[in-house]
A = this chain, B = another copy of it.
Amino acid sequence: MTPAPVDGPGLQALSPGATVLLKRLDTLLEGWGTGSGATPMIMPPLLPVAALSRLDVYDNFPHQALVVSTLDLTQHQEGASHEKFAQNALEPALFGLPSAACFAVYLHHEGRALPDGTTVTVLGRCFRREEHYDGLRRLLGFHMREIVALGSHDFTQEHLRRFEERITALADALGLTLRKEAATDPFYDRGGQRALLQRLSPVKHEFLVDDLAIASLNVHRNFFGERCGITLDATGHAVHTSCVAFGLERWLSVLSARYGSWEAATEAVEKAAVAFGGVAPAGGAAR
C-alpha cells in the first residue's frame, strides 16, 4: 500500500494491526505503573511557551521545538489555497508541543508539597523536529509512555532500579536482545562542571535494540523540583525526580521486525502481559 499524502515525513497513520499492538503494549506498561501505585493521568496536549521555557526546553532543544500559533485574521485571505502560513499570517506563539511526556507532570505539580514516593504515569503524544525521519523509528510526532517518580533521592533511584528489572525481563520474554548504554542529556550538558559530572555519574541510560533506543531511565536530581517549586512535604526541600520512558512506535518497529506481523507481535505482548501478572487484555473491543 503506498503511503497516503497525509503520511508525510515524520507523520504516519498506524494501520489497524499496529494500532491494536500499540494499545496492548501501552496497557501493559500503564499496568506496570498503576500496579506500582502510580496515578494515571491525561495531561494537556499543549503547554504554555512560558512554562516550557522555565524548564530550559528552548535553550536546550531549540532545534527540535515546535510551537503553536493562531492565525492573524486581518491577514487571512479567504479562498486562498494554503501550502503554509508565512510568519506575517501568524500571531505570536503562546503554546508549545511537548517533546517529552513528563514535562506536563512537573508543571502540573508546580508549587505543591508532595509525599515521598509519589508516582504518576502518563501517555503523551510528543513532538520533535529532526533532520531526518525514518518510518516508525524516528517520527516528528510519536507516543511516549512514562512512569515518573517524585520524592526523595533514594526513592527516585529505587524507581529506576525497579523498572530496569522489568524492562530487561520484558525484553527477554519478547525475544528482544537489549543493550543498556549511558547517554548524554542536554539538560545537564551545558556547563563544563555539569558535563564532567555527567561523565562521572550518567543521568540518562538508554535500552537499545541494535541501534534503536526503545526505552530510557532518566535521573533529573532536583532540577525539575527546583524549577517548579515542588517540595517534599517532610523536609520542605525540592523533590528529586526520575522517569522511565518508552517510545511506543519504536517498540512497534522492533516487534514487527522480530515477529514478522502485527498479529504475531500482539500475541507475544499479550502472552508477556499475562506472564507479568497483568490482567488479560480487553479482547474483542479493539480486535
Interface residues of A (CB under 8 A from B): 4-8, 11-16, 18-20, 22, 27, 30-31, 34-35, 39-51, 53-54, 58-59, 62-63, 65-71, 73, 76, 78-95, 97, 104, 107-112, 125, 127, 129, 140-141, 278-287
> A49 CA to B86 CA in the complex, in Å?
11
Copies of this protein, total = 2
* Nearest CB in chain B to that of A103: its residue: B6
Taking a contact as CB atoms under 8 Å apart, the answer to whether A44 and B12 are in contact is: yes
Q: A19-B41, A46-B141, A279-B282 are known contacts. Are A85 and B67 too (CB-CB below 8 A)?
A: yes
A-B contact pairs, 18 of them (CB 8 A): A4-B108, A7-B44, A11-B44, A11-B47, A13-B104, A14-B43, A34-B284, A58-B71, A62-B76, A63-B71, A63-B73, A67-B71, A67-B85, A70-B129, A87-B91, A278-B285, A279-B284, A282-B282
Instruction: Given the known inter-chain contacts A41-B15, A44-B6, A90-B93, please indicate yes or no for A49 contacting B285, CB distance below 8 A.
Output: no
> How far, in angstroms, from A95 to B69 measured CA to CA in the complex?
11
